[in-house]
C-alpha cells in the first residue's frame, strides 16, 4: 500500500477534477509499455478517482489491458488547454474490485454501456450499414444492461503527480509530488 497522498495534492485534485458523480468524465491519455517494449498511448475516460488512485475501464481483451497485465505501470495525462493546466500521473496499475467495476459501468452513458458489449474485432470489421443495424437491434433488445464479462477496471496508484499551470503574465511551472521511500516529496519545477 502506498503512502496517503499529501493534503496539498488532494486539494489540487479536488479543484481540478470533477466529482465522481458528475456525468461529464474527463478524457485522458493512458500511456503503457507495449509488449514489444515500445510506449503506447490512447485516449480513455477517467472513470473516477479517490485518494488511492485513478480508475479507468476497458475491454479485458484490449491491447491496453494486456499491456497493463504484463507491465503494470502507466502514465495518465489530462489536459485543460482553456485553463492552461495539465496533470500527469505516473503509477502502478492493479485490477479494480468487482464492486468498483459495477459502480463504474452503472455510471457510464448508454452509448458507452452498449459499446462495452459490442466493441470487438468482429463488430469493427462489419460494413458500416451492418454495424448501425446491429447496434440499433441490440439497443432495442436490451433496455437494461449490466457489465459484460469482458468489462475490466484498473486503478492507477500514483507514485508521481505533476500539476502544470501556464500563465500569460509569467513563466509556467510544475508542482510535483513524488513518492520516494514511502514519503511524498513536493517540488516546484520550471514549466
Question: What is the pLDDT, as a whole number, of residue 2?
Answer: 63
3-state secondary structure of 75: strand
Residue owning grid cell 496517503? 4
Query: Which pLDDT does position 1 carry in this prediction?
Result: 47
Predicted confidence at residue 29, as pLDDT, reads 98
According to the model, what pLDDT value does residue 9 have?
97
Entry pTM = 0.93
Tell me, what's the pLDDT at 13? 97
Architecture of domain 7-105+150-190: Roll (2.30)
What are the structural domain ranges in the chain?
Answer: 7-105+150-190
Measured over the CA atoms of residue 175, residue 177, residue 180 and residue 181, the dihedral's sign is positive
163 vs 177: CA distance, rounded Å: 9
Identify the segments of the chain with pLDDT beneath 70: 1-2
C-alpha–C-alpha distance, residues 164 and 88, integer Å? 8
Eight-state DSSP code of residue 142: -
Q: How far apart are CA 114 and CA 111, in angstroms?
A: 5
The pLDDT, as a whole number, for residue 139 is 98
The span from the CA of 9 to the CA of 121, in Å, is 40
Amino acid at each position: 500500500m502506498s503512502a496517503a497522498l499529501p493534503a496539498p495534492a488532494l486539494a489540487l485534485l479536488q479543484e481540478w477534477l470533477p466529482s465522481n458523480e458528475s456525468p461529464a468524465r474527463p478524457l485522458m491519455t493512458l500511456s503503457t509499455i507495449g509488449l514489444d517494449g515500445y510506449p503506447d498511448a490512447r485516449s480513455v475516460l477517467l472513470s473516477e478517482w479517490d485518494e488511492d488512485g485513478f480508475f479507468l475501464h476497458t475491454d479485458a481483451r484490449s491491447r491496453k489491458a494486456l499491456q497493463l497485465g504484463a507491465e503494470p505501470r502507466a502514465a495518465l495525462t489530462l489536459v485543460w488547454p482553456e485553463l492552461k493546466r495539465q496533470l500527469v500521473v505516473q503509477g502502478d496499475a492493479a485490477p479494480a474490485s468487482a464492486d468498483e467495476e459495477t459502480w463504474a459501468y452503472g455510471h457510464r452513458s448508454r452509448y458507452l454501456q452498449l459499446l462495452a458489449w459490442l466493441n470487438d474485432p468482429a463488430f469493427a470489421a462489419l460494413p458500416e450499414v451492418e454495424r448501425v443495424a446491429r447496434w440499433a437491434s441490440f439497443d432495442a433488445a436490451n433496455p437494461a444492461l449490466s457489465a459484460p464479462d469482458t468489462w475490466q477496471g484498473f486503478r492507477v496508484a500514483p507514485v508521481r503527480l505533476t500539476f502544470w499551470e501556464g500563465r500569460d503574465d509569467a513563466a509556467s511551472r510544475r508542482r510535483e509530488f513524488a513518492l520516494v521511500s514511502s514519503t511524498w516529496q513536493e517540488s516546484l519545477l520550471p514549466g
